[in-house]
């Protein structure tokens, strides 16, 4: 019997990983797992690659959202990531210009420290008001990113912030009912329907959170899978 490579033991059969790396829209509905959806355009981009900049209510300011492990925007002054696959550059060193901030939130989940999350939203608003270019992202740029964008939009006076973000950024934004409830409780945002069923899934342990029976994830498509 063939002896397994140590990476196979840790990460599972490499064939499965290769399949995840080489999937196409004809063999796997990428969007059904929540990490973006293939565009129907001839460009064949992932959903997060096609997200338009979100114009903030009552201003001429915009913020960019997508993937923190593979941001489409390469020249932002500030990068904010919500997933552990976030890429860092020399920008995160304090003696260099710019900023890179990792504020980890579990996939499909909400911030474990709401008050610190509010500080992040306020800090981001100051950077935008100062004219800086900001990009925020998770894996697909929908659940955690959408939650952050909705919170930010509410700080610009829009209380129907989830609908606003879905209309002007991506209809898949803010995925779980838990995220919607968080925004309602902590930012006074008008409620909406979840864009996706299921709840939190832990990739480190493979364990499902409550009400996650309908959530069927694939491994994170971040750097560890060679899909950066």
Query: pLDDT band at 195, cuts 50/70/90?
Result: confident
pLDDT number for residue 187 = 97
pLDDT digits (tens, 9 = 90+) for 111-131: 999 999 999 999 999 999 999
Task: Produce one character per residue of 1-14: b if its CB has 16 or more CB atoms within 10 Å, e if not.
Answer: eeeeeeeeeeeeee
pLDDT number for residue 196 = 78
What is the CATH number assigned to the segment(s) 39-209? 3.90.190.10
pLDDT digits (tens, 9 = 90+) for 43-72: 567 899 999 999 999 999 999 999 999 999
pLDDT digits (tens, 9 = 90+) for 78-96: 999 999 999 999 999 999 9
The domains of the chain are located at 39-209
Q: Which residue has the tokens 């565009």?
A: 39
Complete DSSP assignment for 46-69: -HHHHPPPEEPTTSS-EEEEEESS
């Amino acid at each position: 019997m063939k002896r397994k490579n140590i990476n196979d033991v840790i990460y599972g059969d490499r064939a499965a990983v290769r399949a995840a790396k080489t999937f196409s829209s004809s063999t796997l509905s990428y969007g059904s797992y929540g990490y973006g959806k293939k565009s129907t355009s001839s460009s064949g981009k992932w959903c997060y690659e096609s997200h338009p900049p979100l114009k903030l209510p009552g201003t001429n300011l915009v913020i960019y959202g997508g993937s923190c492990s593979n941001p489409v925007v390469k020249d932002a002054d500030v990068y904010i990531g919500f997933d552990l696959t976030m890429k860092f550059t020399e920008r995160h060193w304090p003696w260099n210009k710019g900023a890179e901030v990792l504020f980890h939130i579990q996939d499909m989940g909400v911030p474990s420290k709401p008050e610190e999350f509010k500080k992040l939203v306020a800090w981001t608003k100051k950077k935008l008001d100062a004219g800086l270019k900001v990009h925020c992202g998770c894996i697909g740029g929908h659940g955690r990113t959408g939650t952050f964008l909705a919170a930010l939009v509410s700080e610009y006076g829009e209380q129907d912030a989830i609908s606003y973000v879905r209309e002007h950024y991506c209809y898949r934004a803010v995925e779980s009912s838990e995220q919607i409830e968080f925004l309602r409780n902590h930012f006074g945002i008008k409620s909406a329907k979840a864009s996706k069923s299921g709840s939190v899934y832990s990739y480190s342990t493979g364990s499902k959170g409550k009400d996650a029976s309908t959530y069927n994830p694939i491994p994170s498509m971040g750097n560890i899978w060679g899909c950066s």
